[in-house]
A = this chain, B = another copy of it.
Amino acid sequence: MSEAATSNTTELPPPFESLGQPEMRLELLSQPRYLCGGRSMVESVALRLGFDELNAGQIALAVDEALAIVIRHGYDKATDRRIWMSLWPAEPTTGKEGIHIAIEDEAKQVDPAGIKSRDVSEVRPGGLGVYLIEQIMDAARYEQRDPIGMRLMMTKFAKKNPSNDKH
């Protein structure tokens, strides 16, 4: 049990509830024309939180893909639903420069285990969104919100630690 407690404190991404009020929180309509606003915001904040341009751009891509998945799959392209994106600097919770991001919706709940990236060596259009998110972020986790909707938690650090294990 004490082992579980320890691994809980280092869980990545950290539990949503443990992060407290986000430093930025964006609510947007489920319309593709607003994707640009979400990703631009994240990109410029990531630059301020210590990421270089390439990595800030990739975080923006991960966010764009996550929002687009909610629009296409969660809301079946309905344009009158709401999506929330929350940001926290990773430093206070992890001691490392980086960012935690949550994407939340009020869509039908699905089994998080069923949201998987596919084998990209098979070249076909589509099915890249989850793969890109997993490749870009250091950690990503889908979960069911209480009482409705899904949540994607993501964490990325500005610089990889030479040693993976700080303990």
Contacts and interface: CB of A to CB of B under 8 A. Distances in A.
A25 interface: yes
Interface residues of A, number: 24
A26 B29 contact: no
A36 B48 contact: yes
Count copies of this chain in the complex. 2
Contacts of A27: 22, 24-26
A99 B24 CA distance: 22
A98 to B, nearest CB: 15
A31 B36 contact: no
Contacts of A26: 24-27, 41
Contact of A31 (B23, B29, B41): B23
A41 B85 CA distance: 13
A28 interface: yes
Contacts of A45: 33-34, 36-37
Nearest to A24: B28
Contacts of A37: 24, 41-42, 44-45, 48, 87
Contacts of A39: 44
Nearest to A47: B36
A40 B87 CA distance: 15
Rank and list the top 9 A-B pairs by shortest CB-CB distance, nearest first: A41-B41, A40-B44, A40-B40, A36-B44, A37-B45, A37-B41, A25-B27, A23-B29, A24-B28
